[in-house]
Structure 1
Amino acid sequence: MRTVLILLVLIYWAAGKPLEADTRSEKKCGYQSCHKIHRTKLNVHLVPHSHDDVGWLKTVDQYFFGSKTNIQMAGIQYIIGSSIDALRSNPDRRFIQVETAFFWKWWKQQSEQVRDDVRYLVNNGRLEIINGAWSMNDEAATHYHSIIDQFTLGLRTINDTLGECGQPKIGWQIDPFGHSREMASIFSQLGFEGQFFARLDYRDSKLRHNRSELEMVWQGSPSLGKSSNLFTGVLYDFYTTPAYFCWDVLCSDVPINNDEESPDYNELDIVNRFADYVLKGSKYFNTNNLLVTMGGDFTYQAAEMFFNNMDKLIQGFRKFRPDINIIYSTPSCYLKAVNEISKGNGIKYTVKTDDFFPYASKTYSYWTGYFTSRPNSKRFERQGNNILQVTKQLVTFEKLLNGKDYSKNLTLLKEAMGIMQHHDAITGTEKQHVVGDYVRLLEKGIKAAETNVGSIIHDLLSKDGTSGNLKIKLESCLLSNVSYCHPSKADQFTVAVYNPLSRNASHYVRLPVDKTRFQITGSNGDDIPYTIMPAIANFTDFADSSPSDLVFLADDIPPLGLKYFHLKVQHTRDIPKIKEVVQHRLGDEVSGFTIDDVTGLLQTVTLNGVTLKVKQEFMYYHGANGSNLGEENQASGAYIFRPADSTRTAVSFADKVTFTVHSSEFVDEVHQTINSWIKQVIRLYKQENYIEFDWVVGPIDISTNSGTEVISRFTADVDSNGTFYTDSNGRQMLRRVRDYRETYDYTDEEPVSGNYYPITSRITLRDHSRNLEIAVLNDRAQGGSSLHDGQMELMVHRRLLNDDDFGVQEALNEVEFDKGVIARGQHFLTFGPIKSDDSKTSSALQRDLAQKKILNAWVFVGNATGDEFSYENLKEKINFQFSGLRRSLPPNVQILTLEPADDRSILLRLEHVFEEGEDDVLSKPVAVDIADLFTLFNIESIRETTLGANQWLDDNEKLEWDLHEYSDGRASVNYIEESRVGSSLDDFVVTLTPMKIRTFIIYV
């Protein structure tokens, strides 16, 4: 091991050969740099690559610097450095760089000479950036906000460092555990030509191999039609180097000996063996091109070893097998070759319209556990996105108001959020010490982003345009979920509520307090009504946790705007009226719910005057313990969800629960105790059209020496006919049919986990006979299903005692404060008509609620102790309200992004939040005039970019593909044609069709 480490260091720090004659001003990147293919021979595209996880068994820094070799031999700085050296020594070689998080970390440490060399290699196509996002994101647990943000960060960083030739053309999602349709749509909107991946269901893989359908055109969005088409390729033999041909320092395969005088000469034998391998693989593809990945996890730490042998392999084929054209290549060069041959030979491709979930690698191995694993980490990421969108908007306003540029405060949070999207981060499939590091990075990023938030808010509210000597430090109460918020313990404090939505919104502020009497003053000097509710639980691990929640309504907050409140503890005021009552009917005849007076469980729900029988209960599956005796003994673990054989039907924790009812002026609550470690509040805010389920689960009891997987199940009087719907990354809704797959024959060896899907935002059931749709929305990614008609279940927490043997080498047995982790979260139930002429449809209700929860009004609290911070004094200095928009946008339009782009421009994204045909009114195209939309600036000029804001829209062109048609002549893809709008808008009117996101750089 010591020798290997010394070798790596020497290779990394070696000077390397100087580049050939200086032609740095010349550029020959992209398709121009591809090696020539042969139109009649088999073209084998060797793609050298290293798959470098942005955290998994080791932390991000441990991977980059190469420490903790006892865990894994992996050092990213050596991979990038030695690969650059290897490329410089031979102009025929190629290498792809994928994760921008690691590339940027490496780039910052390099001299200007090395940077110039890298730019030269990129400009000549020898080093190609593929994917280009901050990390290779998961596609199940990620939300489209965060996916787009982390691609924007990565792609714009590449632009700034490498220029135009660094712009990626290809998605390279080789390791995520299943693939979403929305991700395909995002790739197409990024302007990518295609994507490649390795993991798909073993039955789907077998069928596609047999039919030579490993390559297809994926329609990312029926609403976007042809413009969302994306060439998609499944790698022939996973993403690693073929067996017997790995010549990396991490491998033990025999290197090529081409000395015919040597007794160990093996060149011909290896060439013939490799020829057999590629000839077999070529049978599964439609053209005479085959992509062969040469690399794998953390390969190329000593790159010359690998490249030297590939050089010899290519030379050997030229000598012994000239019938096969073997070349160094990249995914984009391969795709271009496939397109060229396909168009020239009339080859047509099948169209994919669904997705690739769930992923099963073997009969009993469904990778559906990670949809829920580490629920607190998944929730923290969602909070990180919320505060990132809020602070990006606030920083933009401050820059335009006072010229103060605080955008650098956001860098750490953007980077941490990019890392969190990684397919071993938000998935919960990393070691626990790595989770701790992710939390550290995210918390550090949030604190940095909030550094100047207090002064920004006071500047926006200030009557003279500056906060002056106003020094109230405003901060988020990230621990309010465990009843802790330090500023709200003061006798006098202020609350700023920011609304990041593009329309007016009301928000119920809920703060942990240890007092009961307050005076809350709003913008007009009026007293704001409030109530005090008991906290959901006593969080004994937090010594300062509060016994009560202060609840009040921040009503009608302006779009991209603020409302400010002054709160003062009153020692003589009467306690606000709150009563613990015995009735079992909460709310009223318009919105409310009833509790069964015997079981204490939910009995009915009334919304918008319609009453529906609904039961909600907590249940569990025993996780299979597994063994090493065969795949039928697969354990449930971080990746895999597999109920034990004897308990594949979920078991209820209790047929009867204890409960208390608390009623106030504007919120009614039922507090349920299910057992010693599960509690829940069922809550109705009386101005809302949904029911909230606020739960605390944990520490999960493992005294029976068996893993436990906890679900919340909703059973409604709905005839769903074996069908349910789940979201795709929080955006599109996909139809699911129980025990069925659209593209291959499903087998039901695992009837529970085989029907589990990722729920990033919501799951719904439809009863067409009653024109009714019911939905449950969640506050983080979870796994879920409808295993019986009328049922929806979401997995909320998991604690398992065995590793599932898929690489993490650690049981999913999270511990905090020396005991199992406690998870707290919310579900939101709503229902309404599928179609309606006179009221909001269920889809409209769900879209509205989903937007409010992903872009929740953010609450900042500040200790305002002292007479100088009395309401009267503050009112003289500041307004108590601010709006960033002059008017609310339509309910089907949202400002997805508003942030500084550079010193003189702003990045703006607008999105249509509805799908085609989803709602008769709101699914129509909409035009938005943005000329005078903003209160703090006027737009001078505007230019449209691709989704990642790294390329002008007019500069993006894509290859065309011929597609199969059905036997009746119907096109196999929805050909909704969108008029291509130029990248400049003279009239500043933006037209949005359903599901369309448009990205602009605006100059003010």
Structure 2
Amino acid sequence: MNSIIYFYGLFFIGSFVYSKPFDKATCGYDSCHPVDPNKLNVHLVPHSHDDVGWLKTVDQYFYGRNISYQRAGVQYIIDSVVHALEEDPKRRFIQVETAFFWQWWKKQDEETRSTVRHLVNSGQLEIIGGAWSMNDEAAVNYQSVIDQFTLGLRTINDTLGECGRPKIGWQIDPFGHTREMASIFAQLGYDGVLFARLDYRDVNERQKGLNTELIWKGNPDLGETSDLFTSLIYRFYDAPATFCWDVLCGDEPIVEDEESPAYNVERRVNQFHDYILKQKVNYKTPNILITMGGDFTYQAAPMYYKNLDKLIKGFKRFKGDTINMIYSTPSCYIKAVNDYARSHNLDFERKTDDFIPYASDQHTYWTGYYTSRPNSKRFERQGNNLLQVTKQLVAFEKTNKKDFNGDITKLKEIMGIMQHHDAITGTEKQHVADDYVRLLTEAFKQAENNIDEIIYDLLQKDFSINKEKDNTKVHLQTCLLSNITHCEASNSKRFSIAVYNPLSRSVSHYVRLPVNSTKFEITGSGGELLDYQVLPSIDTFKYVQGIKPSLYDLVFYAKDLPPFGLKYYHVERLSVNVNKPNLIQPESGKYRLGDAESGFAINPSTGLLNSVTLNGETVPVKQQFMFYRGANGTNENAEKRASGAYIFRPAKDFPNAELIGDKAEVKVYTGDLVDEVHEKINDWVKQIIRIYKEENYIEFDWLVGPIEYRDKLGVEVVSRFITDLNSDNTFYTDTNGRGLIKRVRDYRPTFNYTNEEPVSGNYYPITSRIVLKDKERNLELAVLNDRAQGGSSLHNGELELMVHRRLINDDKFGVAEVLDEKEFGRGVTVRGQHQLVLGTSGKNAAAQQHDIAQRKLLAPWVFVGAASSQDHSLENFEKYFKFEFAGLTRSLPENVQILTLETWEDNSLLLRLEHLFESNEDPKLSEPVTVDLEGILSLYKITSIRETTLAGNQWLEENRRLDWNSKTRHSGRTLINNLPDDLKITLSPQQIRTFIIGVESNTI
């Protein structure tokens, strides 16, 4: 590589990773109020927990509208806090949700912005967390979490500079905590995380054993780089009882005038002191953190701060010999703990598992939200899929000197909001869920504003623009309603299809589109005519208003889609005057589909699945739809807790799942591309089981709803798979779509588990896959899903995934609404897919699971456009355009993917590489791998490369983290990786590396 270009590139791109110093900074640990080694240091942390949607919409929360649901206005909070901080430099406050901060910042004048920068640079206003929202940890996928941190932290960099860069994670409200989330915080370069919700038994044992603070090993494959100091907040995140002085509270203020009959300083100090002593005995160091705030507090910040000032002053007067009470932040608290631990050779417990599931008492497991609002969960996953597609396409379009970044800004922002712990979880009010859908739908449309222009620019044969050529283009868009068999474009006489592959390796994909005809001519590259198959749709969807559902699915095989590339197809509908639809009729008595290597068998007497054959291995497998009757409850008493949006709890008198139907009406369809069995279980449960001829998995395409209540009890539907595998009470679940965690039924590795709720207590979040292993037979069976769901293995050889919920009562955790979604005047219907994989452990099982999981998370995206004009003829298209574009010149190895490629600044891109496999998962693919990026981008030459922390907001070599190893004495350690040798990047198992690359356009 040319060294002049290389160093020039590093100099240039440095200007937008490092943020501009706005004034002299004394932020960070240097800005902390001093602690006293001879006293108990009480760190008061003023904060406001501001949900990005819950009881009110995001907009309503920001502006303070709709007070009938909640008196909350974030704009007033930030306004009020800024003024209160200006009054006294000793005061501190933490800002967490960047979505709200950005909405506020855009409305401020430069004088106010300058004031805020000064408060940040002095350490008074500290950014904690810093993501677009405080994300959930159970139902989210790691790619979306990384994206929303990247968005939030870049916004903070651009507005507040280096002092705005967070050091600490603040996950005080999510309902359980995952190992992968800890790993993400560590890779972001953070020094620790604080949270509040974990199993009630775990809390008790940790407090007794002084293990309320620990070192969490977020990823066993990444060594110390994924270690994260973790502190459990004492007694949740609200202020101590009677010590909230916000307009929302009404607690007794502190009266310091000794001549007043209301004088109460000493009494109030003693009350607070009693609380301090109770908290102190649970922590190892002479430092405790007390949260002074709560949900949407500090709307009148002077009230709160005036009383806090008096409290601090009172402690100095009456308890100053033993207590040092100070305004503080999570960063300052953790630094104080670190200093003490290192000076006293203090050790902390090491943790390698997770804090999932969360139980707040013996009958209250927060495992229902793993499935709640399943359609929203699927829509969010589609949003991530489209976001990666459009980010890549926009990045490639910059070679044509066009910038469509504005088109995808809204999608980035709403995807950040969707990760919120009351959004993706499904635990918000219905009108808020509807607003999330509105925002995401609008973002989809905006992201596709210029997508056809980008695609045609990438496909054009030359750069000569003329009117005739422009007329040849069609308007391409996503058929978002294809799941209910509606797509206007694919029912045109002539239409175009562009299939984009967002993976960094070549893949093939079966395209399915709703149609009302049965005869077509599909033309691909080089004039090739493609085979196709037409099959009946799963349902007529007659109840859906405002659209005309199609009768059939058109299926064809898009073979060898190039990495980060697309293929184009031209479709002509032929004459519909045929005697019969071009459907393969079922062969009488044929209930075995596929072939000897890959297929399945249906029990002819029941119409249900009987066995599965994959990779030459045959295993008896039954698949049944079952349901739990959800517990009813009318109050917050644990034994009368209802199953609700948060909580899954089967009714006491009906503890086990019941069959929805033991037989199915069956129709069998076979063909050259796919074999299918269409099952009707009852009026509200249907399913297609299929095997594609070029795939090695069984697909279950299910349709559930509207759910019918049973005996005035809620209904929670599961799909259960029953095999003869000996799983030894053990199963494995993914952690946020990445590695697997071992689960043992009725067991927790870090505390004594009690089994009052044997079903919900064994439920875990499944965001990608759930796996059974038979060690004696060396077999693995996995079921993969297309959205977050709750799942478990309640008996040996069995797996189940919860697919839908409709309930009778609220579970009394604040949302104050029953989870009973409706649409078109009836209960909501849900459609989804599961893929079943069977293989040999250590040979092909893990590789196939990763392959399918990747192709589900980042599926080839299908754009369709009606080609109604004669200008849109095949001949005209072939004259001006190619049928294929490849963004990468070659596929990356099977165990590596480009997790992110997006524009960053002029002449630069953000590139994120990931090793997909865990160590010991696969004999070959679990090895470290080196990727040579030289010449990898077809439209760009890489001129420089420099590594950053995970979110791209800090150069990696500049990140220094606190060291928790008492045997070493250096002041900090870095996340340093091996520096690139030219453009050769080495990845170890599970490693993610992020780079800013300088690029210049190649000649097309």
Q: With structure 1 as the length reference, what TM-score do the two structures score?
A: 0.95
Matched with 1:368 is 367
Cα distance in structure 2, aligned partners of 1:112 and 1:307: 26
State the SS of the aligned residue for 1:824. strand
Q: 2:524 aligns with which of 522, 525, 531?
A: 522
| 8 Å Cα contact 2:183/2:217 also seen in 1 | yes
Q: Which letter does structure 1 place at the counterpart of 2:963?
A: E
Cα deviation 1:180-217 (Å, max 9, x = unaligned): 00000000000000000000000000101111111000
**Structure 1 residue 471 displacement after superposition:** 3.1
Compute the displacement of 1:917 (Å).
1.3
Q: How does 1:859-870 map to 2 (within 5 A)?
A: 859-870=862-873
**Partner in structure 2 of residue 464 of structure 1:** 462
Residue pair 1:660, 1:670 contacting (<8 A) in 2 also: yes
Shift of residue 903, structure 1, vs aligned partner: 1.9
Aligned residue in 2 for 1:563: 567
2:587 paired residue number: 581
Q: In the alignment, which residue of structure 1 is the partner of 2:346? A: 347
Hey, what's the Cα distance between the residues in 2 that align with 1:847 and 1:791?
21
Which residue in the other structure is 1:656 paired with? Answer: 663
CA distance in 2: counterparts of 1:395 and 1:632, whole angstroms: 54
Q: What does residue 397 of structure 1 align with? A: 396
- Distance across 1 between alignment mates of 2:975 and 2:412: 34
Q: Corresponding residue for 1:813?
A: 820
Structure 1 residue 26 displacement after superposition? 1.7
Alignment of 1:280-295 (within 5 A): 280-295=278-293
In structure 2, what is the Cα distance between the partners aligned to 1:91 and 1:978?
Answer: 32
Deviation at 1:581, TM superposition (A): 2.4
What is the identity, as a one-letter code, of the residue corresponding to 2:860?
Answer: A
Could you tell me whether the CA contact under 8 Å between 1:138 and 1:176 is conserved in 2? Answer: yes
**How far has the Cα of 1:657 moved from its partner?**
1.2
> How far, CA to CA, are the matches of 2:818 and 2:438 in structure 1?
22
1:583-598, aligned counterparts within 5 Å? 583-598=590-605
Partners of 1:776 and 1:459 lie apart in 2 by 40
State the match for 2:11 in structure 1.
none
Deviation at 1:835, TM superposition (A): 2.2
Partner of 1:903: 906
Q: Which digits, 9 at most, give the CA deviation of each residue in 1:556-592, with x for residues without a partner? A: 1110011100000111797645222231010110111
- Equivalent in the alignment of 1:1001: 996
SS at match of 1:205: helix
Q: Kindly report which structure 2 residues correspond to 1:439-454, keeping only aligned pairs within 5 A, or say none.
A: 439-454=437-452
Deviations 1:330-380 (A, max 9, x none): 000000000001111111000010000110001100000000000000000
Is the Cα–Cα contact under 8 Å of residues 349 and 963 in structure 1 kept in the other structure?
no
Q: Give the conservation status (yes or no) of the 8 Å contact 1:892–1:913.
A: yes
1:648 shift after superposition: 1.1
Q: Is the 8 A contact 1:41 1:324 kept in 2?
A: yes
Counterpart position of 1:972: none
Is residue 2:297 matched to residue 1:299? Answer: yes
SS state of the match for residue 224, structure 1? helix
Say whether residues 1:921 and 2:924 are aligned partners.
yes
Cα distance per residue 1:824-876 (max 9 Å; x no partner)? 0000000101123xxxx201110011001101000000011122211111011
Distance 1:390 1:311, change over 3 A: same
SS of match in other structure, 2:586: strand
1:902, distance to aligned residue in structure 2 (A): 1.2
Partner deviation per Cα, 1:388-423 (whole Å, 9 max, x = no partner): 0000000000012x0100011110000000000000
Gaps of 5+ in 1: 1-22, 966-976
> What secondary structure, in the 3-state scheme, does the structure 1 residue paired with 2:555 have?
strand
Which of 673, 680, 696 lines up with 1:689 in the alignment? 696
- 2:137–2:736 Cα contact (<8 Å) kept: yes
Identify the match of residue 134 of structure 2 among 130, 136, 142: 136
| 2:964 equivalent among 961, 965, 979 | 961
Residue number among 974, 977, 982 corresponding to 1:981 in the alignment = 977
- Number of residue pairs aligned between Structure 1 and Structure 2: 965
Equivalent position of 2:18 in the other structure: none
Q: CA deviation at 1:652?
A: 0.5
Report the identity percentage.
60
- 1: CA distance between counterparts of 2:233 and 2:146? 25
Q: Distance in 1 between matches of 2:508 and 2:534?
A: 19
1 CA distance for matches of 2:888 and 2:224? 34
Tell me which of 533, 536, 540 is aligned to 2:535. Answer: 533
C-alpha deviation, 1:24, in angstroms: 7.1
Tell me which residue corresponds to 1:628. Answer: 635
2:196 aligned partner: 198
SS in 2 for 1:580: coil
- Separation in 2, partners of 1:577, 1:267: 84
Matched, 1:776 2:778: no
Residue in structure 2 matching 1:843, options 843, 846, 854: 846
Aligned with 2:504 (options 502, 505, 512) = 502
Inter-partner Cα distance in structure 2 for 1:849 and 1:922 = 15
Q: Distance in 1 between matches of 2:858 and 2:503?
A: 6
Equivalents in 2 of 1:980, 1:126: separation in Å?
A: 30
**Residues 1:880 and 2:883 aligned together:** yes
Distance (whole Å) between structure 2 residues aligned to residue 466 and residue 487 of structure 1? 28
SS of residue paired to 1:579: coil
Helix, strand or coil for the counterpart of 1:832?
Answer: strand
**Deviation string, structure 1 residues 878-924 (Cα, Å, up to 9, x no partner):** 00011011110000000000000012210000000001111111010
Is 1:553 the counterpart of 2:557? The answer is yes
Q: Counterparts of 1:913 and 1:60 in 2: how far apart (Å)? A: 35
User: Retained in 1: the 8 A contact 2:791–2:801?
Assistant: yes
- Alpha-carbon displacement from aligned partner over 1:642-678 (angstroms, at most 9, x marks no partner): 0001211100011111111011111000000011000
**3-state SS of the aligned residue for 1:844?**
helix
Whether contact under 8 Å (1:350, 1:964) holds in the other structure is no
Q: Which residue of 864, 878, 889 maps to 2:892?
A: 889
- Structure 1 equivalent of residue 17 of structure 2: none
Aligned to 2:176: 178
Q: 1:413 to 1:555 in 2, by over 3 A?
A: same
Q: TM-score, normalised by structure 2?
A: 0.95
1:941–1:986: 8 Å Cα contact kept in structure 2?
A: no
Give the equivalent residue in structure 2 for 1:32.
30
Contact 2:635 2:812 in 1 (8 A): no
Counterpart in 2 of 1:381? 380
Query: How many Å separate the matches in 1 of 2:252 and 2:214?
Result: 36
Question: Secondary structure, in 3 states, of the residue corresponding to 1:414?
Answer: helix
Match for residue 940 of structure 1 among 916, 920, 943: 943
CA distance in structure 2 between the partners assigned to 1:827 and 1:318 by the alignment:
62
The Cα of 1:478 is off from its aligned counterpart by 0.8
- Rounded to whole Å, the distance in 2 between the matches of 1:333 and 1:908 is 33
Give, in whole Å, the separation in 1 of the partners of 2:831 and 2:243. Answer: 49
Q: Answer whether contact 2:225 2:975 (CA < 8 A) is retained.
A: no
Which residue number in structure 2 is paired with residue 268 of structure 1? 266
Question: Is 1:157–2:155 an aligned residue pair?
Answer: yes
Using a 3 Å threshold, how does the CA distance of structure 1 residues 101 and 798 change in structure 2: closer, same or farther?
Answer: same
Give how far 1:629 is off: 7.6
* Alignment deviations for residues 540-565 of structure 1 (CA, whole Å, 9 cap, x no partner): 13341001000000001110011100
Alpha-carbon distance in structure 1 between the residues aligned to 2:298 and 2:435: 26
Shift of residue 796, structure 1, vs aligned partner? 0.1
Residue of structure 1 equivalent to 2:485: 483
Would the alpha carbon gap of residues 272 and 929 (structure 1) be closer, same or farther in structure 2, given more than 3 Å must change?
A: same
Query: 2: CA distance between counterparts of 1:989 and 1:548?
Result: 49
Deviations 1:475-518 (A, max 9, x none): 00111000001101110000000001111100000000011110
Instruction: Report the residue type matching 2:304 in the other structure.
Output: F
**Contact 2:842/2:921 (<8 A) preserved:** no
Q: In 1, are the aligned partners of 2:345 and 2:967 still within 8 Å (CA)?
A: no
How big is the shift at 1:702? Answer: 2.3
SS of 1:177's equivalent in the other structure is coil
- Contact 2:148/2:416, CA 8 A, preserved across alignment: yes
- Counterpart of 2:257, as a letter, is D
Q: Does the aligned pair in 2 maintain the 1:351–1:963 contact within 8 Å?
A: no
Report whether the alignment pairs 1:766 with 2:762: no
C-alpha contact 1:562 1:882 (8 A) present in aligned 2: yes
Contact 1:517 1:573 in 2 (8 A): no
CA distance in structure 2 between the partners assigned to 1:629 and 1:691 by the alignment: 43
